[in-house]
């Protein structure tokens, strides 16, 4: 179900234990988007296989804490800045939402809800 920004925020408030999941080798767009959501709503940031060089510097400068092995039970996984399941290296998605900017995002099909804007970045 596609929703707008206000409804996306409202929907997230219904969950207590949220994982904001970034694609493998996360770039600043992915990490920054996950960080903004975590700061606004709370939750945990997960990064598949770590960050790229620039995002690593960003994380250090802003003291962004994230897990490179985000195993666990979450009420909701929010997939951030990720267009395909392959970018998540087999991470199991059950109840999940998507926020993304890529032209085509196959992850939207099975998501609980998603926010998509065809822009140059997610953040």
The pTM for the full model equals: 0.89
For residues 85 and 109, the answer to whether their CB atoms sit within 8 Å is no
If one compares 27 and 108, the residue with the highest pLDDT of the two is 27
The structural architecture, per CATH, of the domain 5-111 is Alpha-Beta Complex (3.90)
- Please state, in angstroms and rounded to a whole number, the distance separating the CA atoms of residues 16 and 41: 9
* Res 21: pLDDT: 95
Copy the structure tokens of residue 5.
């920004």
Residue 121 pLDDT more than 50? no
Give per-residue pLDDT as tens, 11-38: 999 999 999 999 999 999 999 999 999 9
């Amino acid at each position: 179900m596609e929703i707008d920004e206000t409804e996306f925020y409202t929907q997230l408030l219904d969950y207590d234990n949220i994982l904001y999941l970034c694609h493998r080798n996360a770039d600043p767009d992915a990490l920054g988007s996950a960080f903004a959501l975590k700061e606004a709503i709370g939750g945990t940031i997960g990064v598949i296989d770590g960050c790229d060089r620039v995002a690593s510097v960003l994380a250090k400068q802003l003291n962004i804490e994230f897990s490179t092995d985000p195993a666990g039970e979450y009420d909701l996984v929010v997939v951030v800045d990720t267009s395909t399941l392959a970018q998540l290296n087999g991470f199991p998605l059950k109840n999940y939402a998507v926020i993304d900017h890529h032209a085509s995002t196959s992850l939207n099909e099975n998501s609980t809800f998603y926010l998509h804007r065809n822009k140059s970045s997610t953040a």
